[in-house]
Amino acid sequence: MRSVLPLAFALLGLVLLIDVSSRLVGRRGDEQRTRTGSARAIEVVAASRGRLLPRATFGGVEPLADVIQCGDKHLWWRADESGIRVAELNAALELVAYTNHETARSPDDVRTFAALPETVDVGGVLILVADGDFRPAADPALARELDAAAARLGSEVAPCAAPSASWALLALRLPDGWVKLAECFSEDRGVVLAFTLSPDLERYRGYRGETFVDVSDERVIQLESELDQALQRGNAAYRIDLPVGGEFRGSILATVSERLGSSRVVWSLPLSAEPVFECLIGLRDGAWKESDGVVFQVLVDDELVAERPLGTPSVGGAPTEVRWLPWRVELGEHAGREVRFELTVTSGDPGSHAAGDWALWGEPWIRSR
């Protein structure tokens, strides 16, 4: 087993060159069907990102979280629906179906997925990409059924063994069974699978593709990319890029209002060894004209762990230097368990007002080992 990243990077740029005319967008309950024949080899690129894992990167550029490229087709599903995406090709390398199986929530979808090894025609090719939460954690028997189906397709990993994982698999059905062409897996970050698929499928008889497992000494949860995973998301908490001191950062915008009060976002997060919360804080440019300051708070299991006020000299004034301020909060006493993690912004003292309180959590990340 080798690292997945060197294999994928050479072709990863293809993911970002999306031809609008060739897009297929998945919708719940639909099966996207088309015919795209190929008399020559096609490039297959499949990007996967598990729940609360950072995206795979290449040259500092983030690819789409879950995308499948097969030849001139680029496929993705609605971002708010987790599951296992499956693109099916026939023996002529024609794309015949694109489906999503919400295996974390639907026992029926688990069983439909588990039937794939037997229902795909001989000569069929499956491209599988897991996105978000696909593990049926509520029922261990369903998780074992899903892992068993993956094994029948040739997988060398148990995708459901980890609480969260990125997983991509390319498999071919020949008369004597399934052949794994390539597989990528990581419990630490997103993965990208890249493979050149020949139209001469018989050449893969006896072929044994490798499983590339990416292992990192550090795990990062990029909270600004995980708002859709939040248990609670109150009072205008959005993922946005806004400037502080003219410098843009990927952020969570937290607005405080007189009517709705403080802004809060709550996640259920697994904390590994030596967890640390790191972020930048600030008020968006222009907010100082009205704001009289805010208070940033970090809570774990509903208990205040740390808070930091961000004040202003006077209403209508501006600080001598408007810039992002770094903040680091040690979470070591909560290591090794699932916690309720909360980011809150309040207007501060009871006499404070909420006008202009457009607060920003810049690049809020949790790092652990």
SS (H, E, C) 261-309: ECEEEEEEEEECCCCEEEEEEEECCCHHHCCCCEEEEEEECCEEEEEEE
What local confidence, expressed as pLDDT, does residue 58 receive?
53
Domains annotated on the chain, with CATH? 4-216 (no CATH), 221-368 (2.60.120.1060)
What local confidence, expressed as pLDDT, does residue 134 receive?
95
Instruction: Take residue 36 and report the two structure tokens written for it.
Output: 């795209």
d(CA 43, CA 39): 13
**Is pLDDT above 80 for 96?**
yes
**Is pLDDT above 60 for 1?**
no
What local confidence, expressed as pLDDT, does residue 180 receive?
97
Least confident range from 75-79, 102-106, 122-126: namely: 75-79
d(CA 21, CA 197): 23
What local confidence, expressed as pLDDT, does residue 91 receive?
95
Instruction: Take residue 287 and report the two structure tokens written for it.
Output: 């907010």
Is the distance from CB of 189 to CB of 56 less than 8 angstroms? yes
The segment with the largest mean pLDDT, out of 32-36, 37-41, 143-147, is 143-147
**Is pLDDT above 50 for 160?**
yes
Is the distance from CB of 127 to CB of 68 less than 8 angstroms? yes
Is the pTM of the predicted complex or chain greater than 0.75? Answer: no
* E strand or H helix at 151: helix 140-152
What local confidence, expressed as pLDDT, does residue 288 receive?
75
d(CA 299, CA 302): 6
- Give the CA-trace dihedral at 148, 152, 155, 156, to 10 degrees: 70
**Is pLDDT above 50 for 18?**
no
d(CA 67, CA 242): 27
Supply the mean pLDDT for the chain: 82
**Is pLDDT above 50 for 68?**
yes
**Is pLDDT above 70 for 287?**
yes
What local confidence, expressed as pLDDT, does residue 354 receive?
57
Instruction: Take residue 333 and report the two structure tokens written for it.
Output: 């006493």
**Is pLDDT above 90 for 182?**
yes
Amino acid at the residue 98: Y
What local confidence, expressed as pLDDT, does residue 319 receive?
55
Which is more confident, 355 or 90? 90
Which is more confident, 115 or 283? 115
Q: Which residues of 242-269 are buried (b: 16+ CB within 10 A; e: fewer)?
A: bbbeeeebbbbbbbbeeeeebbbbbbeb
Question: In the chain, pLDDT over 90 holds for what percent of residues?
Answer: 51
- 15-22 average pLDDT score: 30
Residue 154 zone, left/alpha/beta (φ > 0; ψ -120 to 50; rest): left
Q: Which residues 6+ apart lie within 8 Å of 175 measured at CB? A: 122
Q: Give tens-digit pLDDT for 311-327.
A: 764 444 555 567 899 99
d(CA 351, CA 31): 57
What local confidence, expressed as pLDDT, does residue 65 receive?
58
What local confidence, expressed as pLDDT, does residue 28 receive?
34
d(CA 262, CA 239): 17
Query: DSSP 3-state assignment of 365?
Result: strand
What local confidence, expressed as pLDDT, does residue 220 receive?
85
| Total residue count of the chain as it appears in this document | 369
Name the pLDDT band for 368 (thresholds 50, 70, 90). confident
- DSSP characters over 45-105: EEEEEETT-PPP-BTTBPPPSSEEEETTEEEE--TT--EEEEEEE-TT--EEEEEEE-TTT
d(CA 68, CA 341): 33
d(CA 239, CA 236): 10
d(CA 151, CA 157): 8
Is the distance from CB of 20 to CB of 72 less than 8 angstroms? no
Cα distances (Å, whole numbers) of residue 310 to 22, 240, 283, 296: 48, 20, 8, 8
Q: Give tens-digit pLDDT for 325-335.
A: 999 999 999 99
Q: Give tens-digit pLDDT for 209-268.
A: 999 987 666 788 889 888 888 888 876 567 888 889 899 998 998 888 766 668 889 999
Least confident range from 79-83, 203-207, 243-247: namely: 79-83
